[in-house]
Amino acid sequence: MAKVSAVLSLLFLLFSLIPGGTLMMVNGQKSWCVAKPSSDQATLLANMNFACSHVDCRVMQKPCPCFSPDNLMNHASIAMNLYYQAKGRNKWNCDFRGSGLVVITNPSYADCIYE
């Protein structure tokens, strides 16, 4: 019985992988969306503008806790995650033309809590 359970767990994990090597939710584990570090500035800005046109991005305005660090990578990741969470944590809601990355490690820092 233990072997069957282990095989089923392995199969579930394998089927949870989507093209591009991004891991979706596994065993109910929460996931977040962040910008790929290789994304260029224009893409990050477009992602942030798109996401913030659909969700409330005030959490990253000064003096809110997610304002700092004040850089495009941070702000785009926050906006992309807000969009991803609001739209139901589907892999396609973190695609952003290939510049989004679904992660299972909570990206929260200091007082900036990723929901």
- The model's pLDDT over 59-81, given as tens digits with 9 standing for 90+, comes to 999 999 999 999 999 999 999 99
- The model's pLDDT over 4-47, given as tens digits with 9 standing for 90+, comes to 333 333 333 333 334 433 344 445 789 999 999 999 999 999 99
How high is the pLDDT of residue 115?
Answer: 85
CATH class for domain 2-103?
Answer: mainly alpha
Q: Where are the beta strands (DSSP E) in the chain?
A: 17-18, 22-23, 32-35, 100-103
Dihedral sign, CA of 21, 39, 73, 90?
negative
- Tell me the whole-structure pTM to 2 decimals: 0.76
Residue 87: which pLDDT band, with cuts at 50, 70 and 90? very high
